[in-house]
Structure 1
Amino acid sequence: MKRILLTALLLLTALAVVPAHAQAGPGRLQIRGADVSSLAKSEALGGVYRDARGRRGDALAILSQAGLNYIRLKVWVNPADGYNTKSRVLAVARRVKALGMGLLVDFHYSDTWADPGKQYKPAAWEALPFEQLRQAVYDHTYDVLDALRDQGTTADMVQVGNEINGGLLWPDGSNSTWANTAALLNAGYDAAKAVSGSTRVVLHLANGGDNGLYRWWFDNAGAHGIRYDVIGLSYYSYWHGTPEAFQANLNDVASRYGKPVVVVETAYPFTTADDDGWENIITSAESYPGYPATPQGQSAMLARVADIVRAVPNGLGLGLFTWEATWTGVRGNGWDPADPSSGNGWENQALFGYDDRALPAMSVLGRR
């Protein structure tokens, strides 16, 4: 009996020192996350968030209470509107960690959006020779992550680049010259590890159902010595192939490269209606066959994505992040940081409805 009690005591003690975001629970995903990069600006402009019962509250607390346990925040270098900067990320990170949630920091290495179609250098880096550009990547990455560590909110995961299908910091870091791509990505990796050896570094591609792309990219990454810990994917069912193709790709890359996988971006519409006067990006009533643009359809699609990640063999499926879960239709909080009149086109895919209430998909994901 004493031995049993001692074992139980040791187990309880171990659990007590494990961060809340790492306690997945039986059968649950380790990461049940949301990207909320637009939240600080939304709040500053009067954005309101309510739980499923209509009670007004802090958006991060509402997400946490629903069972989500990880937050993703993007970092731009010098954006026109002054948001998604180091100081803004530090402020939100304090709130994230106070709730016991994990933190993924997403470096775009740009003053604006970086994705497969554009990887613009920050204005301050445009004229730098390559070696100075590599050093700028290191210094910027280290600066942001060191500041997070100093305030007691060390990043748990870091993305070195965002949707880098074609490389980063074009033209220098285009993967038409893999040696340059590798040098820049390894600079970010080394900076992250210099701040915290336990922070996991993610390499993130879009087109999550395209196995040919992932094999080509990560085979080249291996051949050129690119260092990373986790493979990150974007998967939007209306753009990136069938769930079956997505599942096959996830399973293949996890096995082929022996790395855990995480979906750092996914979303689905809960309506086709517009809330901010700016045309939505996704307007189809059934963006993917069998999944209507309703709260129930949103829940079903996001649950399916989560279940596909959980089914990755050998426990290598870490989890997922819904993209811009708090980007509701708040005037002035549009997609273009240089144009306050722009809308966001994404409010019909948030996890809060047009009445500001948490949608059913939030708690569905929280239980995953």
Structure 2
Amino acid sequence: MRRRTALRLGAAALAAPALATAVPGTAAAARRLRVRGADLSSLAKSEDLGGTYHRADGRRDDPVRILAGAGVNWGRLKVWVDPADGYHTTPHVLRTARRMHERGMRILVDFHYSDTWADPGKQYKPAAWEELHGAALEQAVREHTADVLGALRAQGTPAAMVQIGNEINGGMLWPDGSTDDWPRLAALLTAGAEAARAASPGIRVALHLAEGGRNAETRWWFDNAVAHGVPFDVIALSFYGYWHGTLADLQANLDDVSARYRRDVVVAETAYPFRLDSEDFLENIVDLPSELVPGYPATPAGQAAWLRDITAVVAAVPHGRGLGLFYWEPTWTAVPGNGWDPADPASGNGWENQALFDYDGRALPALEVLGRG
């Protein structure tokens, strides 16, 4: 997930077009996806700071129970190495994973290999690894990966899937693991994948790009990964319709790479706004009508339609190789203190208008669409 940093004040209201009704793969939507997931990485901090969640009828409840009751069957959790606010570390991953496991959810662990956000524009080394290179950096990746996944297994909540890096279009652990040096990047990815398989037998290894609708870029990256012998089981792609192309582009890319590499595919991140205005002082990532996908208004119905149609695209991938999707941060509502910057408790949240809980904390219709999958 990439973030826009410039601020604008005063979001505009939307005069919306009619909802889109036809997308590639709609006829295949009857095949229920195996992965109907939600990234709940921010939930622990939200609740610690007073965040509350409610069913659609207004009854307050445990948000994990609300999600699971709707049919959400996977949870995704990011891991940072030594973040400024202390969240997204092994103890918090264990805490939320236990709750997911108790509700019957399977777990995807998303390693950023950083102390903060890792995405296409930044892949900063953890401070403790700054002076590590070559074999020493590979060993740090191995140990960190094994420690987290081993702790989950010891707790009785083993991860079922793992991402070795987050949105690694340009590589990870820069400058060492840049795509400018594929042998070095491949060694780091292999270190993480091998450590994951050793620490959590049976786990599926995913490699994750933010290239949902971009086939040429996806092919270039995975051609290099295969040529350099990187072990992986799943191709994971972020797809936000306001950044990564059309649903038809996504369909073409998923169909092609699943066949080309004989791997399952999953949309590791997607989301869509249910309104445009902000609940806190920070502008939202998407807050203008011009930023929306044509045919999908920023309304609860528009958000639900987007999720319905992207679900149909993934379900239509040939040979059942479309595993499913994860909705990114559906519980990241505008709780004071739970903002973008882990080093700044006063930072705001630019995501609350894309959550699956409204500004009163009530579950939105899109949650039911996600669970039905």
TM-score scaled by length of structure 2: 0.91
Structure 2 residue aligned with 1:272, among 276, 286, 295? 276
Answering whether residue 153 of structure 2 is matched by residue 171 of structure 1, we say no
Aligned to 2:199: 195
Higher relative contact order (CA 8 A, sep 6+): 2
Aligned to 1:119: 123
- The Cα offsets for residues 297-318 of structure 1, whole Å up to 9 and x where unpaired, read as 0000111111100000000000
1:129 Cα deviation from its structure 2 partner: 2.6
Structure 1 residue aligned with 2:108, among 94, 104, 108? 104
Aligned to 1:362: 367
- The Cα offsets for residues 159-193 of structure 1, whole Å up to 9 and x where unpaired, read as 00000000000000001110011100000100110
Answering whether residue 355 of structure 2 is matched by residue 350 of structure 1, we say yes
Aligned to 1:247: 251
Aligned to 1:213: 217
Tell me, in whole angstroms, the C-alpha distance in 1 between the residues paired with 2:296 and 2:137: 45
Amino acid across the alignment from 1:85: T
Amino acid across the alignment from 2:79: V
Secondary structure in structure 2 of the residue aligned to 1:159: strand
The 5-angstrom pairing of residues 17-36 of structure 1 reads 27-36=31-40
Answering whether residue 52 of structure 2 is matched by residue 52 of structure 1, we say no
Identity across aligned pairs (percent)? 65
Answering whether residue 325 of structure 2 is matched by residue 324 of structure 1, we say no
Secondary structure in structure 1 of the residue aligned to 2:289: coil
- Size of the aligned set, in residue pairs, is 344
Tell me, in whole angstroms, the C-alpha distance in 2 between the residues paired with 1:284 and 1:295: 16
Structure 2 residue aligned with 1:37, among 36, 41, 50? 41
Tell me, in whole angstroms, the C-alpha distance in 2 between the residues paired with 1:290 and 1:184: 42
Tell me, in whole angstroms, the C-alpha distance in 1 between the residues paired with 2:209 and 2:64: 26
1:196 Cα deviation from its structure 2 partner: 2.1
Aligned to 1:136: 140
Tell me, in whole angstroms, the C-alpha distance in 2 between the residues paired with 1:230 and 1:34: 17
Gaps of 5+ in 1: 1-25
1:77 Cα deviation from its structure 2 partner: 0.1
Answering whether residue 344 of structure 2 is matched by residue 339 of structure 1, we say yes
For the aligned residue pairs, the C-alpha RMSD in angstroms reads 1.0
- The Cα offsets for residues 142-172 of structure 1, whole Å up to 9 and x where unpaired, read as 0000000001000000000000000000000
Gaps of 5+ in 2: 1-29
Secondary structure in structure 1 of the residue aligned to 2:136: helix
Tell me, in whole angstroms, the C-alpha distance in 1 between the residues paired with 2:200 and 2:116: 27
Amino acid across the alignment from 2:339: G
Amino acid across the alignment from 1:350: A
Structure 1 residue aligned with 2:298, among 293, 299, 305? 293
Contact 1:284 1:293 in 2 (8 A): no
- The Cα offsets for residues 40-71 of structure 1, whole Å up to 9 and x where unpaired, read as 00000000100111110111110000111100
Secondary structure in structure 2 of the residue aligned to 1:32: strand
Tell me, in whole angstroms, the C-alpha distance in 2 between the residues paired with 1:150 and 1:245: 41
Runs of 4+ aligned residues of structure 1 deviating over 2 Å after TM superposition are: none
Secondary structure in structure 1 of the residue aligned to 2:339: coil
Amino acid across the alignment from 2:366: A
TM-score scaled by length of structure 1: 0.92
Structure 2 residue aligned with 1:81, among 77, 82, 85? 85
Secondary structure in structure 2 of the residue aligned to 1:71: strand
